[in-house]
Amino acid sequence: MTIIQELKARNEALFLFGCVCLLISMLFLILANTTTKQVYGVNAWYKPFKFAFSTLTFAWAMAWYAYYLPEFNNKLFSWSIIVLLGFEIVYIAIQASKGQLSHYNLSTPFYSAMFSLMAFAATLVTLYTAYVGFLFFKNSFPELPNYYVWGIRLGIIIFVIFSFEGFAMGSRLNHSVGASNDNSNLFILGWSKIVGDLRVSHFIGMHALQVLPILSYYVLKNTKLTLALSIAYALLALFTLIQALKGQPLIKQKHDITNS
């Protein structure tokens, strides 16, 4: 509760936006288990659930980190995130309610324009986050542990790189390599178990934003260990990207021996 109260005090706008994302993500998860509309072979509501929950983790992480920056316009940053990512979640949810694609949908001029707008919104958010990362390198933070600052810096760098990796999917209109947008029902993530899946590295890389600072601050408590973990984490994300581009799944589908 102390962390939650501190988060609200640091950035109430992003805190409340995260709360809204949490609530609607739970609603989307309920709908995913109580409705039948499907997209690419899985329930249509899983996608808005993943986007809303991922936005929650992003909004709260950036609300926490941006507070440390001197002379930073937190209000402009916060409302940019709320408007841009809020737009994406709303549109993805609307398309899910109709059982239609949000991403990769070029079936009409309107859907093509909306797909481009989502890409534009994601680009702006990523570039703004990259600017925050630049400020963490530009400024010094004597009141913070050095290992923690490096956890934030490297977490943002890896996030930005693998956020832009999303364009590899958008340009192909396909998150799979070796099939057409396969979803193998790997829990909620839906990663393919038969072909390469570009979403794996996208997911791992983007969540460096939360993983590295948290582990640095609470577990490692050492700058060299933080740097080593960050390199290992980046290599893991890169490995899963190369693996996907080769058409290889992260977890292979087991063959049914009884039917072979």
pLDDT, tens only, 163-204: 999 999 999 999 999 888 888 766 678 888 899 999 999 999
Phi, psi of 254, deg, nearest 5: -75, 135
Adjacent-strand bridge partners of 42? 39
User: 194: closest CA among 175, 210, 179?
Assistant: 179
Q: pLDDT tens digits, residue range 219-238?
A: 999 999 999 999 999 999 99
Q: For residue 32, tell me if it sits in a domain.
A: no
Half-sphere exposure of 252 (CA within 13 A, CB side): 6
Q: pLDDT category, 251, cuts 50, 70, 90?
A: confident
Shared-domain flag, residues 158 and 228:
yes
Q: For residue 50, tell me if it sits in a domain.
A: no
Q: For residue 12, tell me if it sits in a domain.
A: yes
Query: Which residues touch 73 (CB under 8 Å, ≥6 apart)?
Result: none
Q: For residue 41, tell me if it sits in a domain.
A: no
| pLDDT number for residue 41 | 84
Shared-domain flag, residues 113 and 12:
yes
Shared-domain flag, residues 149 and 219:
yes
Query: What is the number of structural domains in the chain?
Result: 2
Q: For residue 43, tell me if it sits in a domain.
A: no
Dihedral sign computed on CA atoms, order 195, 107, 87, 164: positive
Shared-domain flag, residues 132 and 157:
no
3-state helix, strand, coil in the chain (%, to 5): 70, 5, 30
Q: For residue 199, tell me if it sits in a domain.
A: yes
Q: Would you list the DSSP string of 145-205?
A: -HHHHHHHHHHHHHHHHHHHTHHHHHHHT-SEESSSS-----TTTT--SSSEETHHHHHHH
Shared-domain flag, residues 157 and 178:
yes
Q: pLDDT tens digits, residue range 145-167?
A: 999 999 999 999 999 999 999 99
| pLDDT number for residue 258 | 39
Range of the structural domain that residue 63 is part of: 1-23+55-96+107-139
pTM value?
0.94
Share of the chain above pLDDT 90, in %: 87
Shared-domain flag, residues 119 and 157:
no
Residue type, 247: G
Shared-domain flag, residues 7 and 90:
yes
